[in-house]
Amino acid sequence: MSKICVIGGGGYVGLTTGACFADLGNEVVCVDIDEAKVAGLKRGKLPIYEPGLQEMVERNIKVERLTFTTSYKDGLRGAEFAFIAVDTPSGSEGEADLKYMRMAAEMIAANMTNSLIIVNKSTVPIGTGDWVAEIVEGHLPAGLEFTVVSNPEFLREGSAINDFLHPDRIVLGSTNRRAGEKVAQLYLSLRAPIIVTDLRTAEMIKYASNAYLANRISFVNEIASICEQLGADIKEVAIGMGYDKRIGHSYLDAGVGWGGSCFPKDVKALAHMAAIHGCHPQLLRAVIEINRDQRRRVVQALRDILGTLHGKTVGVLGLAFKPNTDDMREAPAVEIIHLLQNEGASVKTFDPVAMERAKEIMPEVTYCEDAYEAAEGSDALVVVTDWNEFKHLDMARLKASMAEPVLIDGRNIYEPTKMQELGFVYRGIGRGYEKAEPYLPAEILAAGESIELEEAADDIS
């Protein structure tokens, strides 16, 4: 068992990291400067929604493996590891703002009383590990030793616990092999590949990974726009692409684009780093612009169908940037709703868990009890977040309550022909709804299975 201090332990990454390390049998103290958040956590009240996290936190508080404090001194007392998991928001030019990182480094140096391994868990610009070491060195009392290790996180909101406990890989960066091995020991029970490299390479692995995934989504959305004009169906195109082992199926879902706390700020930060160091990140800039266009396409589709949005009522299903989270950061719904209101539309909305957070940033929206209330009297309905419950709605009931049966499926969760048979004016993303032949879902055959063809009327030569 190791003693671990998690700085920023009330945030998404910090709390998940702290709870999971505690569940693995370590003694964990989460430090956060937000007094209200810490007070709530001590009572078992979480500031975020993440499946399974509430139960894990309660379980480890009960056995006293997980505690919370606002005191760096208490958190660092006797700790072998200090994980920094503070926020690194985007600055005005897209750069990562490191003010919380600096504060954490200074406070660690001022309060540590024994040798310590400082682990950067936050997503930080390349070179931050060296910068943190300089800050700590400049504030550290004589006689104490420390090492900085980079250990970027790869947690997806909505599946963070599973991602922590069953990772694809663990990335560690350090110039001190012994320190890197000690951090690796914390993860050995997970039986995942452990990549040990230098600080800067570890930091770049995180940025490059997120930028690549964002690029895949923007790429498939670009293809979806072409499919829409040429009468092809992006859902079937993506299936066909994904069976190529060089490509795979992940992150090929066309829709209204990516959001959240990672992809937007990380792609912008990497583009900023590249630009100020003399590179020309055209691809990264295009990835960002394509993503922004996806929101606009939704409003354009509504305008094409309804003629004008002025005085219309639009129901929006889903507010969080993805299912199984209440995170509204860079959520596509925010921009879509803003664009709708800017054109004179009234907006009604429903989300299973994110409405309380949404009310803080969009108080002028009408919040509903369920999807059916959001649809009632609406001139159009837009699906923005693909919550599982939206896939199982009574669509006939939904249509019957609407003023106009216009359905914009921003996540392609419905079959076009079924929606059209129900009487909806249906628009998906890249479904080729106007130019395509009658929709036939792709039939996937097992290996070695053959198709019996009907006998042709004429011989084929």
Nearest residue to 77 (alpha-carbon basis) of 106, 108, 112: 112
Find all residues with CB under 8 Å of 97, minimum gap 6, and list them: 88, 89, 90, 91
The two structure tokens encoding residue 173: 């960066």
Query: For tokens 């921003």, what's the residue?
Result: 410
Order of all β-strands in the sheet with 425-427: 366-367, 346-350, 313-317, 380-383, 406-409, 425-427
Q: Are strands 406-409 and 81-84 parallel, antiparallel or unpaired?
A: unpaired
Are the C-beta atoms of 163 and 154 separated by less than 8 Å?
A: yes
User: For residues 206 and 152, what is the distance between their CA atoms, to the nearest angstrom?
Assistant: 6
User: For residues 154 and 386, what is the distance between their CA atoms, to the nearest angstrom?
Assistant: 22
Nearest residue to 31 (alpha-carbon basis) of 63, 64, 77, 89: 77
DSSP-derived 3-state class of residue 197: strand
Question: Is 262 designated active site?
Answer: yes
For residues 294-315, b (16+ Cβ closer than 10 Å) or e, as one string? bbebbbebbeeebeebeebbbb
Catalytic residue among 5, 20, 30, 262: 262
Residue 342: burial class (beta carbons within 10 Å; 0-12, 13-18, 19+): exposed
Nearest residue to 76 (alpha-carbon basis) of 144, 122, 178, 152: 144
Catalytic site positions: 262
